[in-house]
């Protein structure tokens, strides 16, 4: 058993399915320690995982003598201290995105790991979607020519009656929808095209009405409640973290376009392709929901549509996470996403959020710690 795992944020919306996948990944790893705020779901999780050690203090997980891989699945603002402590304790790291509350924190975490033999992983799951894998192959073959335009719409609508969670709180969320789903979108673009954004102009807002305030509940509980109740509650709370953003972006090679990200219930998905990539030879449209890729060549008006029938990943930990960690640990490196990718993505999301606050174009170099220390 190579990885002995401690999970911080074990019973939340993310922690629960991850633990299930770890249990189903065979000999890849064993859960040794669990940390969560609420005792009852924590005890239930310990039974599911056959785990003897539970705590409500993340430091107990990092310092646990049998744990060599720490999972940080807490609100964004709580990542940094636990990640830096994990590096100091010589523990491998799986950190949810966004890695820190800002690019500076993400850079420091990456810096703490980059000169070590410790393994690390940041989950950008779009990379493993069959349609994305096929689109990357098409782009790498030069089918589109030089990329000149990228139009992306990442919609993740939540029930209109869904209660307030930490993701709606700007003091805990790194950038609302900009950092939550925008991080996935930007990593996908970097991975698909090899391009980095140069500058951004953002309109960001909180467009959802005030939400029922049920206190400290996790996202899974909030989604369940929102799907079975109305918004007619006496006590409500208005979100402060962006739940909508329209981002104009310009890339280093001069390519232009836009990115729309949102969690607002009125932006329903499935109506348009998720991403369009336009090149000097052809244009590509990717529809993840319907599993199709359309290509329009120069001079043609009708797209050639390809249905991508490959199965989606069944167990992300067994198929991707454990192999990537093992490869890094063995010194072979990995092309899977790690802390460097987490840092580069956060430079983008920070710039996009800063642009929304300023109402002006923001150069990514303005929020890039590496640019200011070089």
- By the 8 A CB rule, do 316 and 20 touch? no
In a domain, 320, yes or no: yes
CA distance 352 to 205: 12
Q: Which residues pair with 200 in a beta bridge?
A: 249, 362
pLDDT of residue 374: 54
In a domain, 37, yes or no: yes
pLDDT of residue 1: 62
Q: Same domain, yes or no, for 195 and 212? A: yes
pLDDT of residue 233: 63
In a domain, 364, yes or no: no
Q: Same domain, yes or no, for 34 and 164? A: no
In a domain, 246, yes or no: yes
Q: Same domain, yes or no, for 105 and 145? A: no
pLDDT of residue 312: 73
CA distance 328 to 2: 13
Chunk the chain into consecutive blocks of 10 residues (it has 374) and report each block's average pLDDT, rounded to whole numbers: 93 94 94 96 96 98 98 96 98 97 97 94 95 96 97 92 89 92 97 98 95 85 84 81 97 98 91 94 94 90 86 87 94 90 98 97 97 72
Q: Same domain, yes or no, for 255 and 140? A: yes
Q: Which domain holds residue 296?
A: 126-307
What's this model's pTM, rounded to 2 decimal places? 0.94
Q: Same domain, yes or no, for 79 and 139? A: no
Instruction: Tell me the two tokens of residue 3.
Output: 């990885």
Q: Same domain, yes or no, for 73 and 203? A: no
Q: Which of 211, 213, 318, 317 is nearest to 263 (CA)?
A: 211
pLDDT of residue 174: 84
Q: Same domain, yes or no, for 147 and 210? A: yes
Burial of 166-188, coded b for 16+ CB within 10 Å and e otherwise, reads bbbbeebbbbbbbbbbbbbbbbb
Instruction: Render 204-257 in DSSP notation, one character per residue.
Output: EE--SPPEE--SS--HHHHHHHHTTS-S--S-EE---S-SEEEEEEEETTS-EE
Q: Same domain, yes or no, for 242 and 327? A: no
pLDDT of residue 234: 61
Instruction: Render 300-359 in DSSP notation, one character per residue.
Output: -SS-EEEE--PPPPS-HIIIIIHHHHHHHHTT---SS--HHHHHHHHHHHHHHHHHHHHT
pLDDT of residue 221: 85
Q: Same domain, yes or no, for 267 and 287? A: yes
pLDDT of residue 146: 98
Report the half-sphere exposure of 323 (CA within 13 A, side-chain side). 7
In a domain, 40, yes or no: yes
pLDDT of residue 76: 94
Q: Which residues pair with 29 in a beta bridge?
A: 3
Q: Same domain, yes or no, for 81 and 130? A: no
- By the 8 A CB rule, do 243 and 134 touch? no
């Amino acid at each position: 058993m190579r990885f002995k795992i401690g999970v911080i944020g074990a019973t939340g919306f993310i922690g629960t399915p991850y633990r299930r996948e770890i249990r189903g990944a065979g000999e890849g790893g064993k859960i040794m320690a669990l940390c969560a705020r609420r005792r009852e779901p924590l005890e239930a999780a310990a039974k599911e995982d056959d785990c003897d050690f539970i705590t409500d203090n993340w430091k107990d997980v990092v310092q646990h003598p049998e744990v060599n891989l720490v999972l940080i699945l807490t609100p964004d603002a709580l990542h940094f201290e636990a990640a830096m402590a994990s590096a100091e304790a010589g523990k491998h790291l799986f950190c949810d995105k966004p890695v820190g509350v800002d690019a500076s924190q993400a850079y420091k975490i990456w810096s703490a790991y980059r000169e070590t033999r410790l393994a690390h992983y940041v989950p950008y799951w779009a990379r493993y979607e069959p349609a994305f894998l096929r689109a990357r192959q098409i782009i790498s073959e030069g089918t589109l020519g030089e990329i000149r335009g990228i139009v992306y719409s990442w919609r993740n609508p939540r029930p209109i009656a869904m209660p307030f969670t930490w993701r709606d709180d700007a003091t805990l969320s790194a950038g609302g929808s900009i950092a939550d789903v925008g991080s996935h979108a930007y990593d996908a673009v970097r991975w698909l095209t090899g391009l980095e954004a140069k500058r951004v102009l953002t309109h960001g807002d909180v467009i959802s009405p005030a939400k029922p305030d049920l206190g400290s509940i996790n996202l899974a509980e909030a989604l369940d409640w929102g799907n079975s109740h109305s918004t007619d509650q006496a006590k409500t709370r208005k979100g402060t973290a962006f739940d909508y953003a329209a981002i104009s972006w310009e890339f280093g090679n001069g390519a232009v376009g836009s990115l729309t990200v949102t969690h607002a219930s009125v932006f329903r998905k499935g109506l348009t392709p998720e991403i369009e990539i336009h090149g000097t030879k052809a244009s590509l449209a990717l529809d993840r929901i319907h599993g199709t890729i359309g290509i329009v060549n120069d001079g043609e008006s009708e797209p050639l549509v390809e249905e991508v029938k490959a199965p989606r990943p069944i167990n992300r930990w067994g198929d991707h996470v454990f192999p990537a960690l093992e490869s890094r640990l063995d010194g072979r490196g990995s092309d899977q996403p790690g802390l460097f990718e987490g840092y580069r993505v956060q430079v983008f999301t920070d710039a996009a959020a800063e642009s929304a606050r300023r109402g002006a174009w923001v150069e990514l170099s303005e929020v890039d710690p590496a640019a200011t220390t070089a």
